[in-house]
Amino acid sequence: MSNLSKNDPKDDDVVGEEVPTELLELLDNVFHHMRSRVSERWLDVDLTMPQVRTMFLLHKMGPSRMSELSANLNTSLSNVTGLIDRLVERKLVLRKTSSVDRRTVTCLLSDKGQELADGLLYSRRSWWQNRLRNLKSEEEEIAIIGLKALVAAIDRIKD
């Protein structure tokens, strides 16, 4: 049982205009469908969510220093070091030390890590492809406009 209640102030509390209930319910519906029909590939992954996020960040950014990962994951350097340690143990991430400055360590996905990240992303994209392929062109255009508006609204409040 969660200790959160409507009366507890949090960073994500609603400020200003209320969002239409129908929009919130539709978003909840979309996320419910996504969570309830996770592909087998995702179920077989024995990683924590922070580990998966770290791998996807490395997939997106490419080789990165620990400080960059820490900033992008919004967590401490010691937490990132622990995450990377566990991913290195599983041979999903490699650490490379700079030949110029041995204090500079760059992390990158190993071939195994790249293959896993690619496979998970492909699985997610395939899931969407199978569900959206029957949209009519007008519906596609409307969905694109709506999703662009959602992304823009989210980007406007990023810290």
> pLDDT of 104-141, one tens digit each?
889 999 999 999 999 888 888 888 888 889 999 999 99
Q: Which residue has the higher pLDDT, 58 or 16?
A: 58
Backbone angle region of 59, left / alpha / beta, with phi > 0 → left and psi within -120 to 50 → alpha = alpha
Q: What is the rounded CA–CA span in Å between residue 77 and residue 79? A: 5
What's the rounded mean pLDDT across residues 73-79? 93
Residue 158 has which token pair? 């990023």
What's the rounded mean pLDDT across residues 72-83? 94
pTM strictly above 0.85: no
pLDDT reported for residue 96: 92
What SS3 state is found at 105?
strand
Average pLDDT, the chain: 85
pLDDT reported for residue 128: 85
Residue 146 has which token pair? 């709506």
What's the rounded mean pLDDT across residues 71-96? 95
- pLDDT value at 92 more than 50: yes
- pLDDT value at 7 more than 90: no
Give backbone dihedrals phi and psi of 106, rounded to 5 degrees, phi first. Answer: -110, 135
pLDDT reported for residue 10: 55
